[in-house]
Structure 1
Amino acid sequence: MKAKAAIVRHVGGPFSLEDIDVAAPMGSEVMVRMSGVGMCHTDLVARDGFPVPLPIVLGHEGSGVVEAIGPDVKSLAVGDHVVLSFDSCDHCPTCAEHLPAYCHNFMAHNFAGVRLTGGAPSSLSQGDEIVHGNFFGQSSFASHAIAHERNAVKVAKDLPLALLGPLGCGVQTGAGAAVLSLGLKAGQSLAIFGGGAVGLSALLGARAVDAGTVIVVEPNAERGKLALELGATYVINPRECDDVLARIKELSGGAVNHALDTTGIPAVIAIAVETMGPNGMLGLVAVPPPEAMLPANMMSMLLRGAGVKYITEGDADPQTFIPRMIEWYKAGKFPFDRLIKTFRFDQINEAAHASETGDAIKPVLLFED
């Protein structure tokens, strides 16, 4: 199969649109004709130096239509609409516990850039040159992608397929962090630090489960305004507030039940860990600087029984949590599409720039039908 792909050939990019060959699916693989693909911060981190083999096709928030299936595929058929998510091995202890985000083989299945199922080392090529693929089990910055039955989630055909890709990573991470990782219950309060795609998805998840007070800390005024429109009880602009911690305590009646940091900034985390009342949990989802240490007062945490948890992919099993988010969306409780700004696939470098500057909360690249 001939396809058009955005290839990263050297650290720092740019994404280069080139023709590639996509091999037929083997085993439990599926070939998906892409309808849309979200751009996530992790794509940019991989472009800019996270150790993945080059050249490579990135992209890991894909959605599209199954065009071919491998001989071992049982649950999908040609013509199915699917959302692609992260990959996992499906047989380690954590996968057996339906916790694929903590797969013992997560790095190999999502960042190695090669097939792990035998046969050709990559499903992508240009003549005799291997182009690395299988990024997050999909490499969906391409018109066609090879994914796996286990990380392709079948969805109804009456949904806006091209916009569903972010449910596979960024939206899932935020909503899952609030609902699954922190176990936010109806009426409980939450402080969210950062109003980007993950933070606002956490807000949407909190509202979907009828949380109480939700406070979003965000310096971008436009994102703060959107947070209020999406259901935030209060928004704090840290550039206009001398004491964010005191303000959160004031607005929440003393403390919030839980908190979520999406910034990875130690100074912000130092505030976040102090916002919670007894038995509160702080979730961390951002990639921190390599040398960063957790800035927490242990005695303060002891007196409150507070905890801190790093979260991967919202602790979600995509096969169950993506359908749950879609049900919220259909019920009008989860308008994740309001986070999206669309670009043509050939505008991928413009979309990356918009993501980096904050002009787009969640860029989604659209492919021609």
Structure 2
Amino acid sequence: MEFTPIETEGLVMEELNSGFKHMPVVLDDMRPDEVLVEMKYTGICHTDLVASAGAYTVLDFPAVPGHEGAGVVRAVGPEVKDTSLKVGASVILSFNHCDSCANCSAGHPACCSRFEHLNLAAKRLDNSNSAKLTDGRRVSSQFFGQSSFLKLSVVSQHSVIQCPYPENLALYAALGCGFQTGAGTVLNALKPSVDDSFLIFGAGTVGIAAIMAARYLGLRQIIVVDIVNEKLELAKELGATQVVNSREVKDIPCEIQKITDGGARFAIDCTGVSAVIDMMIDCVCCRGTVGVVGSPDPNFVLKLDPVHLLHNNKTVRGICQGDSIAQEFIPRMMELHRSGNFPLEKLCSFYDVKDFEQAINEVRNGKIIKPILKWS
């Protein structure tokens, strides 16, 4: 397949801990099973930020992150399986998967045996990539199959989901990772019943999505723990039945045991902080389940007491991307939004791409939930 090189622009991490730099990038390769997408909007996720700090050792620099893209198709490779995908179509982008391993074949693409390579290494399976800098250096340019911090990007066909509501493309950019992870953890992975108590640590994008999903299921008790009172107020507005500021309560496990009369049935961590996960295990009841959902920082250390887990029959499980099939679950979230169950308008803040540093600072400072960059 012949491909004429295209110069575009992007937010590039030139080296470890260098942060992001807005600079030109040249796309010089597109495979027959790939799609060329012009980004209109890109969500900023915690995963993008920890990538620049070296959280993923498989990622080579320079690299372009971004994995919550939304845009318009500009070219479709002749071997793309979705024959309904046309130039000009509005699309949402999500995580990549191989589509051939046992877990992919069983309907669990977020458990793909090649997940780390295809998503965190930002390369194709053969270790190639689709872009370079103007000085000739190759760029890791398929982060989660998309590297949507590029204005134009060569995207894996498995990362593309058609969007039938282009008027809401800006809001739906955020569905590709954070909201999918939180909502999918509740609706796809844990599947609590109405009588269950559900505990959520962290009221950021992932935690808020989990709250909305739990409310949608009508759970009797949805408890949220965070350190920012404004976020806790929003959590109550969106469905939390109780909130706890962990800076104001000395013994969180004891407080949760009191609130739930013996411990929560389910608890998920959306912070990626190891101390929170250790504490969370003491917050669930006998036969309770702890879900590790948040992306950890590079210095993550977890201490587990196997005797406590054994004697109390507790389960600790990792849940990636909400165990979702993005091509099915993202359309479901669109419909939840349209029916009023996922009020994304209250959660998304928009910034011109040139103001990316302001957006990053405001999400780190807890001022906003989901920053979305607008490409001019």
State the TM-score bracket (shorter-chain normalisation): over 0.9
The answer on whether the counterparts of 1:191 and 1:258 sit within 8 Å (CA) in structure 2 is yes
- Relative to structure 1, the CA distance from residue 294 to residue 321 in structure 2 (aligned partners, 3 Å threshold; closer, same or farther) is farther
Q: Within 2, Cα distance between the matches of 1:125 and 1:255?
A: 53
Instruction: Tell me the residue number matched to 1:165.
Output: 173
- Relative to structure 1, the CA distance from residue 128 to residue 244 in structure 2 (aligned partners, 3 Å threshold; closer, same or farther) is closer
The answer on whether the counterparts of 1:181 and 1:283 sit within 8 Å (CA) in structure 2 is no
**Which of 361, 367, 372 is residue 359 of structure 1 equivalent to?**
367
Report which stretch shifted further, 148-157 or 61-70.
Answer: 148-157
User: Which residue identity does 1:4 align to in structure 2?
Assistant: E
Instruction: Tell me the residue number matched to 2:206.
Output: 198
The answer to whether residue 78 in structure 2 is matched with residue 71 in structure 1 is yes
Structure 1 counterpart SS, 2:88 = coil
Q: Could you tell me the percent identity over the aligned residues?
A: 36
The answer to whether residue 272 in structure 2 is matched with residue 264 in structure 1 is yes
**Which of 48, 52, 58 is residue 53 of structure 2 equivalent to?**
48
Structure 2 counterpart SS, 1:272 = helix
- Relative to structure 1, the CA distance from residue 146 to residue 180 in structure 2 (aligned partners, 3 Å threshold; closer, same or farther) is same
The answer to whether residue 64 in structure 2 is matched with residue 57 in structure 1 is yes
Task: Using the TM superposition, give the Cα deviation of residue 168 of structure 1 relative to its aligned residue in structure 2, in angstroms.
Answer: 0.9
Q: Within 2, Cα distance between the matches of 1:291 and 1:33?
A: 36
Report which stretch shifted further, 323-332 or 302-311.
Answer: 302-311
Report which stretch shifted further, 135-144 or 181-190.
Answer: 181-190
User: Which residue identity does 1:60 align to in structure 2?
Assistant: H
Instruction: Tell me the residue number matched to 2:44.
Output: 39
Task: Using the TM superposition, give the Cα deviation of residue 17 of structure 1 relative to its aligned residue in structure 2, in angstroms.
Answer: 1.3
Task: Using the TM superposition, give the Cα deviation of residue 229 of structure 1 relative to its aligned residue in structure 2, in angstroms.
Answer: 0.9
The answer to whether residue 327 in structure 2 is matched with residue 322 in structure 1 is no
Instruction: Map 1:144-183 onto structure 2 (within 5 A).
Output: 144-183=152-191
Instruction: Map 1:1-369 onto structure 2 (within 5 A).
Output: 1-23=6-28, 25-50=30-55, 51=57, 52-75=59-82, 76-116=85-125, 121-126=129-134, 128-286=136-294, 287=296, 290=299, 292-296=301-305, 298-299=307-308, 301-368=309-376
Task: Using the TM superposition, give the Cα deviation of residue 263 of structure 1 relative to its aligned residue in structure 2, in angstroms.
Answer: 2.4
The answer on whether the counterparts of 2:200 and 2:207 sit within 8 Å (CA) in structure 1 is yes
- Relative to structure 1, the CA distance from residue 278 to residue 22 in structure 2 (aligned partners, 3 Å threshold; closer, same or farther) is same
Task: Using the TM superposition, give the Cα deviation of residue 236 of structure 1 relative to its aligned residue in structure 2, in angstroms.
Answer: 0.6
Task: Using the TM superposition, give the Cα deviation of residue 171 of structure 1 relative to its aligned residue in structure 2, in angstroms.
Answer: 1.0
User: Which residue identity does 2:46 align to in structure 1?
Assistant: H
The answer on whether the counterparts of 2:25 and 2:131 sit within 8 Å (CA) in structure 1 is no
Q: Within 1, Cα distance between the matches of 2:347 and 2:195?
A: 25
The answer on whether the counterparts of 1:115 and 1:123 sit within 8 Å (CA) in structure 2 is no
- Relative to structure 1, the CA distance from residue 80 to residue 142 in structure 2 (aligned partners, 3 Å threshold; closer, same or farther) is same
Work out the number of aligned pairs and report it.
Answer: 366
Report which stretch shifted further, 94-103 or 330-339.
Answer: 330-339
Task: Using the TM superposition, give the Cα deviation of residue 26 of structure 1 relative to its aligned residue in structure 2, in angstroms.
Answer: 1.9
Report which stretch shifted further, 55-64 or 5-14.
Answer: 5-14
Task: Using the TM superposition, give the Cα deviation of residue 203 of structure 1 relative to its aligned residue in structure 2, in angstroms.
Answer: 0.7
Task: Using the TM superposition, give the Cα deviation of residue 242 of structure 1 relative to its aligned residue in structure 2, in angstroms.
Answer: 2.8
User: Which residue identity does 1:354 align to in structure 2?
Assistant: E
The answer on whether the counterparts of 2:42 and 2:69 sit within 8 Å (CA) in structure 1 is yes
Structure 2 counterpart SS, 1:164 = helix
Moved over 4 A (4+): 288-291
Any unmatched runs of 5+ in structure 2?
A: 1-5
- Relative to structure 1, the CA distance from residue 291 to residue 362 in structure 2 (aligned partners, 3 Å threshold; closer, same or farther) is closer
- Relative to structure 1, the CA distance from residue 96 to residue 66 in structure 2 (aligned partners, 3 Å threshold; closer, same or farther) is same
The answer on whether the counterparts of 2:286 and 2:313 sit within 8 Å (CA) in structure 1 is yes
Q: Report the aligned-residue RMSD.
A: 2.0
Q: Within 2, Cα distance between the matches of 1:20 and 1:271?
A: 44
- Relative to structure 1, the CA distance from residue 187 to residue 38 in structure 2 (aligned partners, 3 Å threshold; closer, same or farther) is same
Q: Within 2, Cα distance between the matches of 1:242 and 1:262?
A: 20
User: Which residue identity does 2:67 align to in structure 1?
Assistant: H
Q: Within 1, Cα distance between the matches of 2:344 and 2:287?
A: 30
User: Which residue identity does 1:43 align to in structure 2?
Assistant: D
TM-score (normalizing by structure 1):
0.92
The answer on whether the counterparts of 1:264 and 1:285 sit within 8 Å (CA) in structure 2 is yes
* 1:104-140 Cα distance to aligned partner (Å, 9 max, x none): 111211133333369x642444263323201110011
Structure 1 counterpart SS, 2:328 = helix
User: Which residue identity does 1:327 align to in structure 2?
Assistant: E
User: Which residue identity does 1:8 align to in structure 2?
Assistant: M
The answer on whether the counterparts of 2:13 and 2:20 sit within 8 Å (CA) in structure 1 is yes
Task: Using the TM superposition, give the Cα deviation of residue 24 of structure 1 relative to its aligned residue in structure 2, in angstroms.
Answer: 5.9
Q: Within 2, Cα distance between the matches of 1:189 and 1:64?
A: 38
